[in-house]
Amino acid sequence: MLEQTGEESTNALVWNETGNAHFKRGAIEEAINAYNKAIQFDTEFGWPYSNLALAYITQGQYTEAILLYQRSIELLDSDKDKAVSWNGLGNVYRRIHDYANAVAAYQKAAELDPETAGMREGLDSSEAGQDPRNAQAWNDLGEVFFKTGAYDEAARAFEKAIGLVPEFGWAHSNLARTLSAQGKHAEAVPLFRKSIELFQEDKDKAVSWNRLGNVYRKLNDYDHAIQAYQQAVALAEEDAALITRTRFSLLSNLAAD
């Protein structure tokens, strides 16, 4: 049974839970005071640091939040708990437009506990501004979401990259791949074709042609699949073309049956 929560309590867990209750009702200052009390009574208890970081985020105190998340990661025991703080750290970095560190933090969270992919905050279209330099960061962030199976978030990230730089070929190709992963194969086709128009390098075009062949195969459109794989083989570098040639050969045999 937990000790009483008033000023008399010296139980860090009680103060942490009290902070959570304050936070949930929007009493941020009271939550901050409670989390600080929890830390005061047990400096090795990781959760108050993580929770205090989240409270500071709501007040725009990002530097403090970063330090608190880092400390919580040192103190928390389980990978699942550490992943929550890594995920929170990624959210802070994203808010301050430090996308390289955001991606690294999300990757670490996903390594420790893939389920944290669904815990990320929704992508705010206002966060990156209209700076084309951020398009690559949004694309990279989308790649992280895709690898952890967070396809809705991946799609929003790739769409954001396209919004910032409409001629960004990889964002189109990656969005198409994400839609295909969601079973939206027909919607992926024009995006793959658009990416092929936008790419300058043959090796990049080959990747999208190969991906397009995979989509046509899933649509049971073997004629177009074979044509796409042929294009990929013609444009791809020797090593990269080997798998594509194999797929093309198998499809040719299937079409001949």
Average pLDDT value for residue range 72-86: 95
What does pLDDT average to over the chain?
A: 85
Number of domains in the chain: 3
pLDDT at residue number 142? 86
Is the pLDDT at 113 greater than 90, yes or no?
no
Average pLDDT value for residue range 69-87: 95
Residues 184, 85 share a domain: no
* Range name among 197-201, 226-230, 249-253 with the lowest pLDDT average: 249-253
Residues 99, 138 share a domain: no
Position 122 confidence tier, pLDDT thresholds 50, 70, 90: very low
* Range name among 66-80, 127-141, 176-190 with the lowest pLDDT average: 127-141
Is the pLDDT at 145 greater than 70, yes or no?
yes
Residues 99, 16 share a domain: yes
Q: Which tops the pLDDT comparison, 148 or 13?
A: 13
Residues 68, 163 share a domain: no
Is the pLDDT at 41 greater than 50, yes or no?
yes
CATH code (residue 39): 1.25.40.10
Residues 207, 172 share a domain: no
For 133, the domain range is: 128-198
pLDDT at residue number 248? 55
From residue 151, alpha-carbon distances to 161, 165, 244 in Å are 15, 21, 25
Position 216 confidence tier, pLDDT thresholds 50, 70, 90: very high
Average pLDDT value for residue range 154-173: 93
The verdict on residue 53 lying in a domain is: yes
Report the alpha-carbon distance of residue 178 to residue 170 in Å, rounded: 12
Residues 205, 189 share a domain: no
Q: Which tops the pLDDT comparison, 121 or 87?
A: 87
CATH code (residue 235): 1.25.40
pLDDT at residue number 252? 54
Is the pLDDT at 256 greater than 60, yes or no?
no
The verdict on residue 212 lying in a domain is: yes
